Amino acid sequence: MRIRKYTETDKAQLLSLWAEAFPNNPKHSQPLANLEAKLKVDDLIFVAEYENEVVGVCMAGYDGHRGWLYAVAVSTKHRRLGIGKALVEYVIDSLQQLGCIKINLQVRESNDAVVQFYASLGFDVEPVISMGKRLV
């Protein structure tokens, strides 16, 4: 397995992986729109590749102070092989190299397995209120 930055040749596989991993995404959060919007801002999209197949992806953000992990996914047939852990650790290291001092992420409250996954990587549930305002 190799982890690297996203390239345009990954597009079809990445979109397919996100569609598999997030089948119930709301209309305002569709894979193609998310990818195109992200690439207008920066290139902090990382893929895990195994035998020439994109099997994991993590879109990251960095505002000069805090980092974010978005849309982290591993294909269902490649889960529980350490790919998600390796991918998240790689992205954390990449953000640290940019000067990032804290990384945030959001998980749906009902997704206990993913909460446990991030807890195993040292993430803690913080006593904060996450607020949002959808503009579309």
Per-residue pLDDT of the chain (136 residues; tens, 9 = 90+): 999 999 999 999 999 999 998 888 777 778 888 899 999 999 999 999 999 999 999 999 999 999 999 999 999 999 999 999 999 999 999 999 999 999 999 998 888 999 999 999 999 999 999 899 988 7
Residue 116 belongs to a domain: yes
pLDDT at 25: 79
Residue 109 belongs to a domain: yes
Measured CA to CA, the distance from residue 22 to residue 20 in angstroms comes to 6
Measured CA to CA, the distance from residue 88 to residue 79 in angstroms comes to 14
Residue 68 belongs to a domain: yes
How many domains is the chain partitioned into structurally? 1
Residue 134 belongs to a domain: no
pTM beyond cutoff 0.85:
yes
Residue 95 belongs to a domain: yes
For the chain, how big is the Rg over CA atoms in Å? 14
Specify whether the CB–CB gap between 22 and 78 falls below 8 A: no
CATH number, domain with residue 52:
3.40.630.30
Residue 52 belongs to a domain: yes
pLDDT at 30: 80
pLDDT at 22: 86
Q: Which domain covers residue 113, as residue numbers?
A: 2-120
Residue 6 belongs to a domain: yes
Residue 79 belongs to a domain: yes
